[in-house]
Structure 1
Amino acid sequence: MKHDKLGIYSKTFITDVPADPNSPDVAHFRKTIRRFPDEAIYIYSFKDNRMLYADGWEELLGYADNEITMLTIVNITAPEYAPFSNELNDKALMFLHNITKDLEQYSFTIELKKIHKNGTHVPLICKVGVFSAEEGQVTAIIGHSQKNESIKLGNVMRYAAYGPEKSAFEEELNKQLFRHYAISEKEKEALAMVAEGFSFKEIAARFGVSQSAIEKRIIPMYKRFEVKSLTHLISFAYANHILP
Protein backbone atom coordinates (compact mmCIF):
# COMPACT_ATOMS: atom_id res chain seq x y z
CA MET A 1 0.00 0.00 0.00
CA LYS A 2 1.20 3.54 -0.70
CA HIS A 3 1.63 5.81 2.31
CA ASP A 4 2.10 9.08 0.46
CA LYS A 5 -1.64 9.65 0.05
CA LEU A 6 -1.99 10.40 3.75
CA GLY A 7 -1.71 13.75 5.49
CA ILE A 8 1.48 14.63 7.30
CA TYR A 9 -0.21 14.39 10.69
CA SER A 10 -2.40 11.31 10.29
CA LYS A 11 0.12 9.12 8.46
CA THR A 12 2.11 8.98 11.70
CA PHE A 13 -0.73 7.06 13.37
CA ILE A 14 -2.10 4.78 10.65
CA THR A 15 -0.95 1.22 9.92
CA ASP A 16 -1.79 -1.59 7.53
CA VAL A 17 -2.75 -4.05 10.29
CA PRO A 18 -6.24 -5.61 10.07
CA ALA A 19 -8.45 -6.68 12.95
CA ASP A 20 -7.77 -10.07 14.50
CA PRO A 21 -10.90 -12.15 13.72
CA ASN A 22 -10.19 -14.34 16.78
CA SER A 23 -10.05 -11.40 19.18
CA PRO A 24 -12.80 -11.34 21.84
CA ASP A 25 -13.24 -7.64 20.95
CA VAL A 26 -14.59 -8.62 17.52
CA ALA A 27 -17.33 -10.80 19.00
CA HIS A 28 -18.17 -8.08 21.52
CA PHE A 29 -18.43 -5.34 18.89
CA ARG A 30 -20.54 -7.54 16.62
CA LYS A 31 -23.06 -7.95 19.43
CA THR A 32 -23.06 -4.34 20.62
CA ILE A 33 -22.65 -2.20 17.48
CA ARG A 34 -25.63 -1.98 15.17
CA ARG A 35 -24.94 -2.04 11.45
CA PHE A 36 -27.56 -0.79 8.99
CA PRO A 37 -28.20 -2.16 5.48
CA ASP A 38 -25.68 -0.96 2.86
CA GLU A 39 -23.33 0.09 5.66
CA ALA A 40 -19.83 -0.98 6.70
CA ILE A 41 -18.13 -0.18 10.01
CA TYR A 42 -14.59 -0.08 11.33
CA ILE A 43 -12.95 0.71 14.65
CA TYR A 44 -9.29 1.73 14.55
CA SER A 45 -7.11 1.93 17.66
CA PHE A 46 -4.36 4.53 17.85
CA LYS A 47 -3.31 2.89 21.10
CA ASP A 48 -2.73 -0.52 19.47
CA ASN A 49 -1.92 0.85 15.98
CA ARG A 50 -4.31 -1.58 14.33
CA MET A 51 -7.85 -2.14 13.23
CA LEU A 52 -9.93 -3.49 16.11
CA TYR A 53 -13.07 -4.27 14.16
CA ALA A 54 -14.38 -4.35 10.58
CA ASP A 55 -17.85 -5.46 9.52
CA GLY A 56 -19.87 -5.27 6.31
CA TRP A 57 -17.07 -4.44 3.87
CA GLU A 58 -17.55 -7.39 1.54
CA GLU A 59 -21.19 -6.50 0.94
CA LEU A 60 -20.37 -2.81 0.51
CA LEU A 61 -17.06 -2.75 -1.39
CA GLY A 62 -16.10 -6.37 -2.07
CA TYR A 63 -13.33 -6.61 0.54
CA ALA A 64 -13.40 -9.30 3.22
CA ASP A 65 -13.48 -7.81 6.70
CA ASN A 66 -10.04 -9.27 7.46
CA GLU A 67 -8.63 -7.38 4.43
CA ILE A 68 -9.74 -4.01 5.74
CA THR A 69 -7.04 -1.80 7.26
CA MET A 70 -6.88 1.98 7.61
CA LEU A 71 -4.50 2.16 4.66
CA THR A 72 -6.91 0.10 2.56
CA ILE A 73 -9.73 2.52 3.40
CA VAL A 74 -7.54 5.48 2.46
CA ASN A 75 -6.24 3.98 -0.75
CA ILE A 76 -9.62 2.92 -2.18
CA THR A 77 -10.93 6.50 -2.18
CA ALA A 78 -11.71 7.59 -5.74
CA PRO A 79 -8.81 9.76 -7.01
CA GLU A 80 -10.85 12.93 -7.44
CA TYR A 81 -11.90 12.80 -3.77
CA ALA A 82 -8.71 11.48 -2.19
CA PRO A 83 -6.73 14.74 -1.67
CA PHE A 84 -9.58 16.48 0.11
CA SER A 85 -10.70 13.41 2.06
CA ASN A 86 -7.21 12.73 3.34
CA GLU A 87 -6.62 16.33 4.30
CA LEU A 88 -9.99 16.55 6.04
CA ASN A 89 -9.06 13.52 8.15
CA ASP A 90 -5.68 15.06 8.85
CA LYS A 91 -7.02 18.45 9.95
CA ALA A 92 -9.81 16.88 12.01
CA LEU A 93 -7.29 14.78 13.92
CA MET A 94 -5.15 17.86 14.51
CA PHE A 95 -8.14 19.73 15.92
CA LEU A 96 -9.13 16.84 18.20
CA HIS A 97 -5.55 16.57 19.43
CA ASN A 98 -6.07 19.94 21.10
CA ILE A 99 -9.44 19.04 22.66
CA THR A 100 -9.41 17.35 26.07
CA LYS A 101 -13.08 17.20 27.11
CA ASP A 102 -16.10 15.32 25.74
CA LEU A 103 -14.02 13.85 22.93
CA GLU A 104 -16.46 11.00 22.30
CA GLN A 105 -19.06 13.56 21.20
CA TYR A 106 -17.02 14.73 18.19
CA SER A 107 -17.43 13.47 14.63
CA PHE A 108 -17.42 14.62 11.03
CA THR A 109 -19.02 13.47 7.78
CA ILE A 110 -17.99 13.62 4.14
CA GLU A 111 -19.69 12.61 0.90
CA LEU A 112 -17.41 10.81 -1.57
CA LYS A 113 -16.85 7.73 -3.69
CA LYS A 114 -14.82 4.63 -2.84
CA ILE A 115 -13.57 2.10 -5.37
CA HIS A 116 -15.17 -1.34 -5.13
CA LYS A 117 -12.83 -4.32 -5.44
CA ASN A 118 -14.34 -4.91 -8.89
CA GLY A 119 -13.29 -1.41 -9.99
CA THR A 120 -16.67 0.34 -9.89
CA HIS A 121 -17.18 3.54 -7.92
CA VAL A 122 -19.59 3.51 -4.98
CA PRO A 123 -21.13 6.78 -3.60
CA LEU A 124 -20.89 6.89 0.18
CA ILE A 125 -21.69 9.06 3.14
CA CYS A 126 -18.81 8.47 5.56
CA LYS A 127 -18.94 9.41 9.22
CA VAL A 128 -15.88 9.29 11.47
CA GLY A 129 -16.21 9.79 15.21
CA VAL A 130 -14.21 9.39 18.38
CA PHE A 131 -14.86 5.90 19.76
CA SER A 132 -12.77 6.14 22.92
CA ALA A 133 -10.46 8.54 24.72
CA GLU A 134 -8.18 8.36 27.74
CA GLU A 135 -6.73 11.25 29.72
CA GLY A 136 -7.85 13.78 27.13
CA GLN A 137 -6.42 11.91 24.12
CA VAL A 138 -8.23 10.04 21.34
CA THR A 139 -7.40 6.33 21.59
CA ALA A 140 -9.77 4.93 18.93
CA ILE A 141 -12.05 6.14 16.16
CA ILE A 142 -15.13 4.56 14.61
CA GLY A 143 -16.10 4.92 10.99
CA HIS A 144 -19.46 4.29 9.32
CA SER A 145 -19.64 4.18 5.52
CA GLN A 146 -23.10 3.93 4.01
CA LYS A 147 -23.96 3.53 0.35
CA ASN A 148 -26.32 6.19 -0.97
CA GLU A 149 -27.13 6.10 -4.68
CA SER A 150 -29.25 9.24 -4.33
CA ILE A 151 -26.19 11.43 -3.65
CA LYS A 152 -25.44 13.73 -6.57
CA LEU A 153 -21.72 14.30 -6.32
CA GLY A 154 -20.28 17.20 -8.30
CA ASN A 155 -16.87 18.85 -8.21
CA VAL A 156 -17.39 20.28 -4.72
CA MET A 157 -16.63 18.24 -1.61
CA ARG A 158 -19.36 18.36 1.04
CA TYR A 159 -18.62 17.87 4.71
CA ALA A 160 -19.91 18.66 8.21
CA ALA A 161 -18.49 18.71 11.73
CA TYR A 162 -20.25 17.86 15.00
CA GLY A 163 -19.46 18.13 18.69
CA PRO A 164 -19.74 20.40 21.75
CA GLU A 165 -17.53 22.96 20.01
CA LYS A 166 -19.10 22.39 16.61
CA SER A 167 -18.63 25.97 15.41
CA ALA A 168 -14.95 26.03 16.36
CA PHE A 169 -14.43 22.60 14.79
CA GLU A 170 -16.05 23.57 11.51
CA GLU A 171 -14.41 26.99 11.42
CA GLU A 172 -10.99 25.40 11.87
CA LEU A 173 -11.68 22.94 9.06
CA ASN A 174 -12.97 25.75 6.83
CA LYS A 175 -9.81 27.76 7.46
CA GLN A 176 -7.48 24.83 6.84
CA LEU A 177 -9.32 23.50 3.78
CA PHE A 178 -10.08 26.81 2.07
CA ARG A 179 -7.90 26.04 -0.97
CA HIS A 180 -10.09 23.05 -1.86
CA TYR A 181 -13.37 23.06 -3.77
CA ALA A 182 -15.36 22.25 -0.63
CA ILE A 183 -18.34 23.46 1.35
CA SER A 184 -19.29 22.86 4.97
CA GLU A 185 -22.80 22.08 6.17
CA LYS A 186 -23.00 25.48 7.86
CA GLU A 187 -22.06 27.27 4.64
CA LYS A 188 -24.50 25.15 2.66
CA GLU A 189 -27.36 25.99 5.06
CA ALA A 190 -26.71 29.73 4.69
CA LEU A 191 -26.36 29.48 0.91
CA ALA A 192 -29.64 27.56 0.64
CA MET A 193 -31.44 30.40 2.42
CA VAL A 194 -29.82 32.98 0.12
CA ALA A 195 -31.10 30.94 -2.84
CA GLU A 196 -34.60 31.08 -1.33
CA GLY A 197 -34.42 34.89 -1.33
CA PHE A 198 -33.60 35.64 2.32
CA SER A 199 -31.35 38.61 3.04
CA PHE A 200 -28.16 38.26 5.08
CA LYS A 201 -29.95 40.08 7.91
CA GLU A 202 -32.86 37.62 7.85
CA ILE A 203 -30.51 34.63 7.74
CA ALA A 204 -28.54 36.02 10.69
CA ALA A 205 -31.76 36.34 12.68
CA ARG A 206 -32.72 32.75 11.82
CA PHE A 207 -29.36 31.40 13.03
CA GLY A 208 -29.10 33.77 15.98
CA VAL A 209 -25.78 35.28 14.84
CA SER A 210 -24.63 38.65 13.54
CA GLN A 211 -25.06 39.72 9.93
CA SER A 212 -21.27 39.89 9.60
CA ALA A 213 -21.07 36.22 10.64
CA ILE A 214 -23.32 35.29 7.72
CA GLU A 215 -21.29 37.47 5.36
CA LYS A 216 -18.17 35.61 6.49
CA ARG A 217 -19.83 32.33 5.49
CA ILE A 218 -20.96 33.52 2.06
CA ILE A 219 -18.47 36.07 0.72
CA PRO A 220 -15.32 33.89 0.92
CA MET A 221 -17.04 31.42 -1.41
CA TYR A 222 -16.72 33.98 -4.23
CA LYS A 223 -12.95 33.50 -4.27
CA ARG A 224 -13.02 29.78 -3.48
CA PHE A 225 -15.39 28.96 -6.36
CA GLU A 226 -14.18 31.76 -8.64
CA VAL A 227 -17.55 33.47 -9.01
CA LYS A 228 -18.21 37.19 -9.30
CA SER A 229 -21.64 37.70 -7.76
CA LEU A 230 -24.26 36.18 -5.48
CA THR A 231 -26.33 35.15 -8.50
CA HIS A 232 -23.28 33.48 -10.03
CA LEU A 233 -22.58 31.69 -6.72
CA ILE A 234 -26.14 30.33 -6.55
CA SER A 235 -25.97 29.14 -10.17
CA PHE A 236 -22.66 27.45 -9.41
CA ALA A 237 -24.21 25.75 -6.37
CA TYR A 238 -27.06 24.26 -8.40
CA ALA A 239 -24.76 23.22 -11.24
CA ASN A 240 -22.47 21.37 -8.84
CA HIS A 241 -25.24 19.68 -6.83
CA ILE A 242 -24.49 21.70 -3.69
CA LEU A 243 -28.13 22.74 -3.67
CA PRO A 244 -30.90 20.34 -4.78
Structure 2
Amino acid sequence: MPERENFGEYSKTFITAVPADLKSQEALFFDERIPKFADEAVYIYSFKQNRMIYASGWEEILGYRDDEINMLAIVNMSAPEFAHFSHELNDKALKFIHHKSKDLEKYSFTIELKKIHKNGTQVPISARVGVFSSENGKIESIIGRFQVNRSLIFGKVMRYAAYGPEKEKFEEELNKILFSYLAISNKEKEALELVAKGYSFKEIAHALKVSHSAIEKRIIPLYKRFNVKSLTHLVSFAYDNYILP
Protein backbone atom coordinates (compact mmCIF):
# COMPACT_ATOMS: atom_id res chain seq x y z
CA MET A 1 0.00 0.00 0.00
CA PRO A 2 1.34 3.50 -0.82
CA GLU A 3 2.78 5.58 2.03
CA ARG A 4 0.78 8.49 3.43
CA GLU A 5 3.78 10.82 3.15
CA ASN A 6 3.59 10.73 -0.64
CA PHE A 7 0.60 13.02 -0.93
CA GLY A 8 -0.36 16.56 0.11
CA GLU A 9 0.17 17.78 3.64
CA TYR A 10 -3.38 19.12 3.92
CA SER A 11 -5.19 16.16 2.33
CA LYS A 12 -3.43 13.55 4.45
CA THR A 13 -5.25 14.89 7.50
CA PHE A 14 -8.51 13.62 6.03
CA ILE A 15 -7.57 10.52 4.00
CA THR A 16 -7.65 6.90 5.14
CA ALA A 17 -7.16 3.51 3.52
CA VAL A 18 -10.53 2.14 4.65
CA PRO A 19 -12.58 0.76 1.72
CA ALA A 20 -16.35 0.85 1.39
CA ASP A 21 -18.62 -1.76 2.89
CA LEU A 22 -20.59 -2.45 -0.27
CA LYS A 23 -23.14 -4.53 1.62
CA SER A 24 -24.15 -1.61 3.83
CA GLN A 25 -27.55 0.01 3.37
CA GLU A 26 -25.79 3.24 2.48
CA ALA A 27 -23.75 1.65 -0.34
CA LEU A 28 -26.76 -0.25 -1.66
CA PHE A 29 -28.74 3.01 -1.68
CA PHE A 30 -26.04 4.74 -3.73
CA ASP A 31 -25.72 1.76 -6.07
CA GLU A 32 -29.35 2.20 -7.07
CA ARG A 33 -29.16 5.95 -7.52
CA ILE A 34 -25.68 6.91 -8.77
CA PRO A 35 -25.62 6.97 -12.60
CA LYS A 36 -23.02 4.66 -14.15
CA PHE A 37 -21.31 5.16 -17.50
CA ALA A 38 -19.03 3.05 -19.68
CA ASP A 39 -15.28 3.32 -18.95
CA GLU A 40 -15.94 5.18 -15.70
CA ALA A 41 -15.28 4.48 -12.03
CA VAL A 42 -17.03 6.31 -9.18
CA TYR A 43 -16.33 6.74 -5.48
CA ILE A 44 -17.92 8.56 -2.55
CA TYR A 45 -15.64 9.31 0.38
CA SER A 46 -17.03 10.42 3.75
CA PHE A 47 -15.00 12.84 5.86
CA LYS A 48 -17.50 12.25 8.64
CA GLN A 49 -16.79 8.50 8.69
CA ASN A 50 -13.16 8.79 7.51
CA ARG A 51 -13.68 6.06 4.93
CA MET A 52 -14.92 5.21 1.47
CA ILE A 53 -18.68 4.67 1.57
CA TYR A 54 -19.30 3.74 -2.08
CA ALA A 55 -17.24 2.54 -5.04
CA SER A 56 -18.19 1.21 -8.47
CA GLY A 57 -16.36 0.34 -11.71
CA TRP A 58 -12.81 0.26 -10.37
CA GLU A 59 -11.79 -3.24 -11.45
CA GLU A 60 -12.66 -2.50 -15.08
CA ILE A 61 -10.84 0.85 -15.04
CA LEU A 62 -7.80 0.42 -12.79
CA GLY A 63 -7.82 -3.24 -11.70
CA TYR A 64 -8.95 -2.78 -8.08
CA ARG A 65 -12.08 -4.48 -6.77
CA ASP A 66 -14.78 -2.09 -5.61
CA ASP A 67 -14.53 -3.53 -2.08
CA GLU A 68 -10.74 -3.06 -2.18
CA ILE A 69 -10.25 0.45 -3.58
CA ASN A 70 -9.70 3.18 -0.98
CA MET A 71 -9.00 6.90 -0.91
CA LEU A 72 -5.32 6.52 -0.03
CA ALA A 73 -4.75 4.25 -3.02
CA ILE A 74 -6.62 6.56 -5.39
CA VAL A 75 -4.62 9.62 -4.34
CA ASN A 76 -1.29 7.83 -4.58
CA MET A 77 -1.80 5.96 -7.87
CA SER A 78 -1.01 8.99 -10.07
CA ALA A 79 1.80 8.42 -12.58
CA PRO A 80 5.07 9.97 -11.27
CA GLU A 81 5.08 12.90 -13.68
CA PHE A 82 1.59 13.93 -12.50
CA ALA A 83 1.86 13.07 -8.80
CA HIS A 84 3.17 16.30 -7.27
CA PHE A 85 0.81 18.47 -9.28
CA SER A 86 -2.16 16.25 -8.52
CA HIS A 87 -1.38 16.25 -4.80
CA GLU A 88 -1.03 20.03 -4.72
CA LEU A 89 -4.27 20.49 -6.64
CA ASN A 90 -6.15 18.17 -4.27
CA ASP A 91 -4.70 20.02 -1.27
CA LYS A 92 -5.43 23.54 -2.43
CA ALA A 93 -8.87 22.80 -3.87
CA LEU A 94 -9.94 21.07 -0.66
CA LYS A 95 -8.54 23.91 1.46
CA PHE A 96 -10.40 26.50 -0.64
CA ILE A 97 -13.73 24.68 -0.35
CA HIS A 98 -13.24 24.08 3.38
CA HIS A 99 -13.28 27.86 3.83
CA LYS A 100 -16.71 28.09 2.19
CA SER A 101 -20.01 27.50 3.96
CA LYS A 102 -22.69 28.00 1.29
CA ASP A 103 -23.62 26.07 -1.87
CA LEU A 104 -20.83 23.59 -1.19
CA GLU A 105 -22.35 20.92 -3.44
CA LYS A 106 -21.80 23.24 -6.43
CA TYR A 107 -17.98 23.17 -6.08
CA SER A 108 -15.81 20.76 -8.06
CA PHE A 109 -12.59 20.57 -10.03
CA THR A 110 -11.29 18.49 -12.92
CA ILE A 111 -7.84 17.29 -13.90
CA GLU A 112 -6.45 15.28 -16.81
CA LEU A 113 -3.71 12.85 -15.83
CA LYS A 114 -2.48 9.28 -15.94
CA LYS A 115 -3.17 6.81 -13.16
CA ILE A 116 -1.27 3.57 -12.54
CA HIS A 117 -3.35 0.43 -13.10
CA LYS A 118 -2.93 -2.36 -10.56
CA ASN A 119 -1.01 -4.29 -13.24
CA GLY A 120 1.49 -1.41 -13.60
CA THR A 121 0.28 0.08 -16.88
CA GLN A 122 -0.68 3.75 -17.20
CA VAL A 123 -4.28 4.76 -17.93
CA PRO A 124 -5.27 8.22 -19.28
CA ILE A 125 -7.97 9.64 -17.02
CA SER A 126 -10.26 12.65 -16.98
CA ALA A 127 -11.13 13.00 -13.31
CA ARG A 128 -13.78 15.18 -11.67
CA VAL A 129 -14.02 15.59 -7.90
CA GLY A 130 -16.75 17.55 -6.19
CA VAL A 131 -18.65 17.99 -2.95
CA PHE A 132 -21.33 15.31 -2.67
CA SER A 133 -22.94 16.35 0.60
CA SER A 134 -22.55 18.95 3.35
CA GLU A 135 -23.92 19.53 6.81
CA ASN A 136 -24.10 22.80 8.75
CA GLY A 137 -21.86 24.53 6.22
CA LYS A 138 -19.14 21.87 6.27
CA ILE A 139 -18.20 19.22 3.72
CA GLU A 140 -19.54 15.81 4.71
CA SER A 141 -18.53 13.79 1.66
CA ILE A 142 -17.01 14.10 -1.81
CA ILE A 143 -17.68 12.25 -5.05
CA GLY A 144 -15.11 11.42 -7.69
CA ARG A 145 -15.65 10.22 -11.24
CA PHE A 146 -12.70 8.79 -13.19
CA GLN A 147 -13.36 8.46 -16.93
CA VAL A 148 -10.90 6.63 -19.17
CA ASN A 149 -10.09 8.96 -22.07
CA ARG A 150 -7.74 7.34 -24.56
CA SER A 151 -7.99 10.35 -26.88
CA LEU A 152 -5.98 12.45 -24.40
CA ILE A 153 -2.54 13.45 -25.64
CA PHE A 154 -0.18 14.67 -22.92
CA GLY A 155 2.63 17.16 -23.31
CA LYS A 156 4.53 18.92 -20.55
CA VAL A 157 1.53 20.91 -19.34
CA MET A 158 -1.04 19.77 -16.76
CA ARG A 159 -4.66 20.67 -17.52
CA TYR A 160 -7.28 21.42 -14.88
CA ALA A 161 -10.43 23.45 -14.22
CA ALA A 162 -12.40 24.74 -11.22
CA TYR A 163 -16.17 25.13 -10.89
CA GLY A 164 -18.53 26.65 -8.36
CA PRO A 165 -20.36 29.80 -7.27
CA GLU A 166 -17.01 31.57 -6.80
CA LYS A 167 -15.36 30.00 -9.83
CA GLU A 168 -13.16 33.02 -10.56
CA LYS A 169 -11.76 33.17 -7.03
CA PHE A 170 -11.42 29.38 -6.93
CA GLU A 171 -9.40 29.25 -10.13
CA GLU A 172 -7.35 32.32 -9.23
CA GLU A 173 -6.37 30.72 -5.94
CA LEU A 174 -5.33 27.53 -7.68
CA ASN A 175 -3.41 29.51 -10.28
CA LYS A 176 -1.39 31.35 -7.64
CA ILE A 177 -0.41 28.20 -5.81
CA LEU A 178 0.19 26.07 -8.91
CA PHE A 179 2.17 28.76 -10.72
CA SER A 180 5.43 26.87 -10.28
CA TYR A 181 4.04 23.96 -12.29
CA LEU A 182 3.61 23.70 -16.04
CA ALA A 183 -0.15 23.89 -15.78
CA ILE A 184 -3.04 25.67 -17.46
CA SER A 185 -6.63 26.21 -16.37
CA ASN A 186 -9.69 26.00 -18.62
CA LYS A 187 -10.13 29.76 -18.28
CA GLU A 188 -6.58 30.41 -19.51
CA LYS A 189 -6.93 27.85 -22.27
CA GLU A 190 -10.19 29.44 -23.43
CA ALA A 191 -8.46 32.79 -23.92
CA LEU A 192 -5.40 31.18 -25.51
CA GLU A 193 -7.57 29.42 -28.11
CA LEU A 194 -8.82 32.82 -29.26
CA VAL A 195 -5.28 34.23 -29.31
CA ALA A 196 -4.33 31.35 -31.63
CA LYS A 197 -7.19 32.34 -33.94
CA GLY A 198 -5.75 35.84 -34.26
CA TYR A 199 -8.09 37.71 -31.91
CA SER A 200 -6.74 40.79 -30.13
CA PHE A 201 -7.03 41.04 -26.34
CA LYS A 202 -9.83 43.57 -26.81
CA GLU A 203 -11.72 41.20 -29.11
CA ILE A 204 -11.21 38.29 -26.71
CA ALA A 205 -12.50 40.39 -23.81
CA HIS A 206 -15.61 41.25 -25.84
CA ALA A 207 -16.16 37.64 -26.88
CA LEU A 208 -15.81 36.32 -23.32
CA LYS A 209 -17.67 39.29 -21.79
CA VAL A 210 -14.87 40.22 -19.40
CA SER A 211 -12.55 43.20 -19.07
CA HIS A 212 -9.39 43.76 -21.11
CA SER A 213 -7.33 43.48 -17.92
CA ALA A 214 -8.95 40.13 -17.14
CA ILE A 215 -7.64 38.74 -20.42
CA GLU A 216 -4.18 40.15 -19.71
CA LYS A 217 -4.23 38.35 -16.35
CA ARG A 218 -5.01 35.09 -18.14
CA ILE A 219 -2.41 35.36 -20.90
CA ILE A 220 0.56 37.41 -19.69
CA PRO A 221 1.48 35.13 -16.72
CA LEU A 222 1.78 32.23 -19.20
CA TYR A 223 4.89 33.88 -20.67
CA LYS A 224 6.86 33.35 -17.46
CA ARG A 225 5.22 30.05 -16.56
CA PHE A 226 6.09 28.47 -19.92
CA ASN A 227 9.28 30.48 -20.48
CA VAL A 228 8.18 32.02 -23.78
CA LYS A 229 9.01 35.48 -25.14
CA SER A 230 6.04 36.37 -27.37
CA LEU A 231 2.45 35.51 -28.24
CA THR A 232 3.69 33.63 -31.29
CA HIS A 233 6.04 31.59 -29.12
CA LEU A 234 3.25 30.98 -26.60
CA VAL A 235 0.86 29.70 -29.28
CA SER A 236 3.60 27.49 -30.74
CA PHE A 237 4.34 26.09 -27.27
CA ALA A 238 0.63 25.41 -26.78
CA TYR A 239 0.41 23.38 -29.98
CA ASP A 240 3.65 21.52 -29.27
CA ASN A 241 2.34 20.47 -25.86
CA TYR A 242 -1.17 19.52 -27.02
CA ILE A 243 -2.84 22.35 -25.10
CA LEU A 244 -4.44 23.43 -28.37
CA PRO A 245 -5.77 20.93 -30.92
Task: Measure how far apart 1:223 and its partner are.
Answer: 0.5
Find the aligned partners of 2:181 and 2:153 in 1 and give their Cα distance.
Answer: 19
Q: What are the superposed Cα offsets for residues 60-79 of structure 1, whole Å, 9 maximum, x if unpaired?
A: 01110111111110121101
Find the aligned partners of 2:55 and 2:80 in 1 and give their Cα distance.
Answer: 23
Amino acid at match of 2:92: K
Alignment partner of 1:19 is 2:20? yes
Name 1:114's counterpart in structure 2: 115
Find the aligned partners of 1:10 and 1:119 in 2 and give their Cα distance.
Answer: 25
Find the aligned partners of 1:239 and 1:36 in 2 and give their Cα distance.
Answer: 32
Q: Is the 8 A contact 2:22 2:53 kept in 1?
A: no
3-state SS of paired residue (1:4): helix
Task: Measure how far apart 1:164 and its partner are.
Answer: 1.0
Find the aligned partners of 1:21 and 1:96 in 2 and give their Cα distance.
Answer: 28
Q: What are the superposed Cα offsets for residues 114-134 of structure 1, whole Å, 9 maximum, x if unpaired?
A: 111111110010000000011
1:1-244 pair list within 5 angstroms: 1-244=2-245
Find the aligned partners of 1:81 and 1:184 in 2 and give their Cα distance.
Answer: 15
Find the aligned partners of 1:176 and 1:96 in 2 and give their Cα distance.
Answer: 15
Q: Is the 8 A contact 2:44 2:144 kept in 1?
A: yes
Q: Is the 8 A contact 1:38 1:146 kept in 2?
A: yes
Task: Measure how far apart 1:231 and its partner are.
Answer: 0.6
Amino acid at match of 1:180: Y
Q: Is the 8 A contact 2:44 2:141 kept in 1?
A: yes
Corresponding residue pairs, total = 244
CA RMSD of aligned residues (A): 0.7
Name the % identity. Answer: 67
Find the aligned partners of 1:197 and 1:226 in 2 and give their Cα distance.
Answer: 21
Q: Is the 8 A contact 2:182 2:225 kept in 1?
A: yes
Gaps of 5+ in 1: none
Q: What are the superposed Cα offsets for residues 2-55 of structure 1, whole Å, 9 maximum, x if unpaired?
A: 111221111100001000122111111110001100000000000000000110
Find the aligned partners of 1:7 and 1:118 in 2 and give their Cα distance.
Answer: 25
Find the aligned partners of 1:182 and 1:5 in 2 and give their Cα distance.
Answer: 20
Q: Is the 8 A contact 1:204 1:210 kept in 2?
A: yes
Q: Is the 8 A contact 1:5 1:74 kept in 2?
A: no
Q: Is the 8 A contact 1:104 1:131 kept in 2?
A: yes
Amino acid at match of 2:120: G
Gaps of 5+ in 2: none
TM-score (norm. length: structure 1): 0.99
Q: Is the 8 A contact 1:76 1:115 kept in 2?
A: yes
Find the aligned partners of 1:45 and 1:5 in 2 and give their Cα distance.
Answer: 21
Structure 1 segments of 4 or more deviating over 6 A?
none
3-state SS of paired residue (1:236): helix
Find the aligned partners of 1:145 and 1:135 in 2 and give their Cα distance.
Answer: 28
Find the aligned partners of 2:76 and 2:131 in 1 and give their Cα distance.
Answer: 21
Find the aligned partners of 1:210 and 1:19 in 2 and give their Cα distance.
Answer: 47
